Structure 1
């Protein structure tokens, strides 16, 4: 029954958010903020029933692993903090960010492919028993263009 309840869980796909927004180029040496839509970062439950017995499985998001396309991996404990204007433009994310050291020039479509993998732990109980199923995962990816700005000082 526990396996059936786990199989019936419908985990939401992560929705990647960045600042600057993915429609704009990120800049080398300027912090990029990453976060996931908070709507998906919550427990998901499903109950399997047969006459006289029911088992409930609850999946809890535990971490997000970001592959930034430049060979860097960033581990975040939660969904990340959404950027807002209350933060200085040059500030780093307090919990989930990355600063590119090179541009995406020369990459396919001149962009890095970034991906995020959300790891969910499942706790189940019912029929007088309980247990855990670690490590269910959901994933998403997107392209992110990273540009390099150069300044010219003239006197």
Structure 2
């Protein structure tokens, strides 16, 4: 029954957010903030019942592994902090960010494909038993352009 409860869990797909927003190019050597929509970063439960017994499985998001498209991976323990105007434009994310060291020029469609894999642990209980099933995953990806700005000093 625990396996059935786990199979019936409907885990939300991650919704990737970045600052700068994906509509704009990130800049080389300027911190990029990444976070996931807080609505999806919460436990999800499902209960399966048969006469006299019920089993509840609860999936809890544990970490988000980001593949940044430039060969780097960033692992964040939570959903990340959403960027807001209260932060300086060049500040680093307090918990989930990346700084690109090269542009995405020359990549397919001139953009890096970034992806995030959210790992969920499932705790279940019922019928006098309990347990943990680690490692369920949900994924999302998107294209992110990274540009290089250069200054020219003229005297």
The alignment's TM-score, normalised by the length of structure 2, stands at 1.00
Report Cα offsets for 1:66-104 as digits up to 9, x if no partner. Answer: 000000000000000000000000000000000000000
Q: Whole-Å Cα distance in 2 between the matches of residues 16 and 3 of structure 1?
A: 29
Report Cα offsets for 1:85-144 as digits up to 9, x if no partner. Answer: 000000000000000000000000000000000000000000000000000000000000
Structure 1 residue 148: Cα displacement: 0.2
The alignment's TM-score, normalised by the length of structure 1, stands at 1.00
Structure 1 residue 154: Cα displacement: 1.1
Matching residue of 2:4 = 4
Matching residue of 2:35 = 35
The unaligned stretches of length 5 or more in structure 2 are none
Matching residue of 1:126 = 126
The unaligned stretches of length 5 or more in structure 1 are none
Q: Which runs of 4+ in 1 moved over 3 A?
A: none
Matching residue of 2:135 = 135
Structure 1 residue 43: Cα displacement: 0.1
Matching residue of 2:92 = 92
Q: Whole-Å Cα distance in 1 between the matches of residues 23 and 153 of structure 2?
A: 29
Equivalent position SS for 2:32: strand
